[in-house]
Amino acid sequence: MSVSAYGPDNFGLHKHGVGAQYYVRGSEGRKSLAYPPMDLRECNASKTECALGIGVINGTAEIVSTGETSATMAINFKYQVGRSYSFDANGHKVKQEVPPDVQALQASQVISKRIEVAYGEVVRIPLQYGVEVALCAQKQAADEIVPDRSVCPN
């Protein structure tokens, strides 16, 4: 199964904004998932004022059962939106931050559920500020080393 999370395309140039797609196999057990920080914004109708934020999704996914027509996945995610985000990369502290003179978006949400997904279908979970988590199931034949990933668009 694939688990993807993408932010919105704030400039209308692409299908979606920053994010990633991970593949979870039944043999892996619980898999940790950490998505890249997403630049988020919410503007008034005339787009004269906008609030900005940095969104991050972290969590786990695990295939709990598979059947002839579908698979069931347990997901546990934490979605946080705030003024800043920092992380360590190769011993260097990296920080993204909304400027202090700009209103910052705030959100915190926990998603913990089991979802049954039919093979070849996409189940979408919309979050605040245009962020979306999507699950897609691929049936793996006994003779396949890797399932056909083309059935799950990112």
Q: What is the pLDDT along the chain (154 residues), one digit of tens a residue?
A: 889 999 988 777 777 788 888 888 877 789 999 999 999 999 999 989 999 999 999 999 999 999 999 999 999 999 999 999 998 888 889 899 999 999 999 999 999 999 999 998 999 999 999 999 999 998 766 555 565 556 676 5
Give the pLDDT confidence score for residue 88 in this predicted structure: 86
CA 144 to chain centre: 27
d(CA 110, CA 126): 13
Q: Please state, as a whole number, how many other Cβ atoms lie within 10 Å of the Cβ of residue 62.
A: 17
| Contact yes or no for 96/54 (Cβ under 8 A) | yes
pTM, whole model, 2 decimals?
A: 0.85
What are the backbone dihedrals phi and psi of residue 128, each rounded to the nearest 5 degrees, phi first?
Answer: -60, 150
Give the pLDDT confidence score for residue 134 in this predicted structure: 94
Give the pLDDT confidence score for residue 18 in this predicted structure: 84
Q: For 27, how many CA atoms within 13 A lie in the half-sphere containing its CB? A: 3
In a 3-state reduction of DSSP, which class is residue 129? helix
